[in-house]
Amino acid sequence: MHWVKNDNVDNYHAEEYFLEQIFEPRSYSFCDITWYLSWSPCEDCCAIIQDFLEEEHNVNMHIHVARLYYEHDPGNCAALRELASFPRVTIQAMDVEDYMYCWDTFLQTDGYFDFTAGSFLSVIEKNRLKLEEILMDLHL
């Protein structure tokens, strides 16, 4: 289990950094990668993920996003639709259970936080609906 963040020194987004620096390909079986991302992949990262999956035929990718990166940018929306249509990829907005899993798994326990995932249900729902709207354009 890993967590990564953008690498501003080498100008890597977290997605690219994980695929190029952390992932170790295995040719003998299938691999399921589940990502919980603060932001949906940008246009460039969508292309990097697709290139990666074209090389790694045994990898399935499940992407859960908390927020939508430049959701009004047509290039980002088109890239998300294209990535979502790629075989072996699922993209969805995080739900309350995802937030709770991330909370329990990735946050430091000694910090104080005055909120819970349940306290922003309307934002969670808004992101889910907006991502569905973006991905629905896939069928146009």
* Whole-number Cα distances in Å, 15 to 6, 80, 117: 8, 14, 24
Cα dihedral: 10, 11, 12, 13 (round 10): 150
Tokens (6 digits) for 28:
């003998």
**CA proximity to 42, closest of 61, 16, 5:** 16
Catalytic residue among 15, 16, 43, 56: 15
For strand 89-93 and strand 31-39, is the pairing parallel, antiparallel, or unpaired? unpaired
**CA proximity to 33, closest of 53, 62, 55, 2:** 62
20 has catalytic annotation: no
State the catalytic residues: 15
